């Protein structure tokens, strides 16, 4: 069976392959599969964006006769939800400061909006919504979460997005201070993938 990931992000594909490779013989990114498609992620929720992306990429692959029964397309959408900001930036996490996916600007805006929030009220969580669209089978949907605290300054040089501001208390460091392996052990994407895998049983 084949799994097409609705992404060309090498690290994301490797992480997905490590968990779902037990169920799919071949795991490919869109470029590897020969697919080119820009999906407009304009839904109001992470789940809506993941579902839209999965359905559109699935339809394209199916129209090109790439999918046999049991083959699947997996799509995801991720956001940071901050308690003190009523769940913002949420579904607009990548476009919080601008429409250009500017990590530095997004982090700067988050720090500004959180500057007067006291300790004890700085809780937040990352959420990853995933939808697995399967040929000849019902879709599998899951949302994985990981909880932490927003720091007052950026700490660490690894990761991307809001990782330098997201402090994970059990490890005593931000996501950007973790190695890739450490983050993959506890991340929201890993939690979502394990729920997807459980849904395939």
pLDDT at residue 110 in the model: 98
Q: Domain spans of the chain?
A: 2-199
How many angstroms from the chain centroid is the CA of residue 11?
12
pLDDT at residue 99 in the model: 83
pLDDT at residue 97 in the model: 95
List residues with catalytic annotation.
77
Q: Which fold has domain 2-199?
A: Maf protein (3.90.950)
Query: Along the chain (201 residues), what's the average pLDDT of each consecutive run of 10 residues?
Result: 91 86 92 92 95 96 94 96 98 90 94 97 98 93 98 94 97 96 92 94 69
* Alpha carbons 104 and 181: distance in angstroms, whole number: 24
């Amino acid at each position: 069976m084949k799994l097409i990931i609705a992404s060309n992000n090498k690290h994301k594909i490797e992480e997905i392959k490590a968990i779902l490779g037990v169920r799919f013989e071949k795991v490919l990114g869109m470029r590897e599969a020969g697919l080119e498609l820009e999906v407009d992620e304009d839904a109001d929720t992470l789940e809506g964006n993941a579902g839209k992306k999965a359905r559109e990429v699935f339809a394209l692959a199916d129209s090109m006769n790439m999918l046999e029964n049991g083959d699947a397309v997996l799509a995801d959408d991720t956001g940071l939800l901050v308690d003190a900001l009523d769940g913002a930036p949420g579904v607009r996490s990548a476009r919080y400061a601008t429409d250009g996916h500017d990590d530095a600007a997004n982090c700067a805006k988050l720090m500004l909006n959180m500057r007067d929030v006291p300790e004890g009220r700085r809780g937040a969580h990352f959420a990853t919504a995933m939808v697995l669209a399967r040929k000849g089978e019902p879709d599998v949907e899951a949302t994985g979460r990981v909880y932490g605290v927003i720091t007052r300054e950026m700490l660490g040089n690894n990761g991307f997005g809001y990782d330098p501001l997201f402090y994970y208390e059990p490890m005593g460091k931000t996501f950007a201070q973790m190695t890739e392996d450490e983050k993959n052990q506890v991340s929201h994407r890993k939690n979502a993938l394990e729920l997807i895998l459980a849904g395939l049983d």
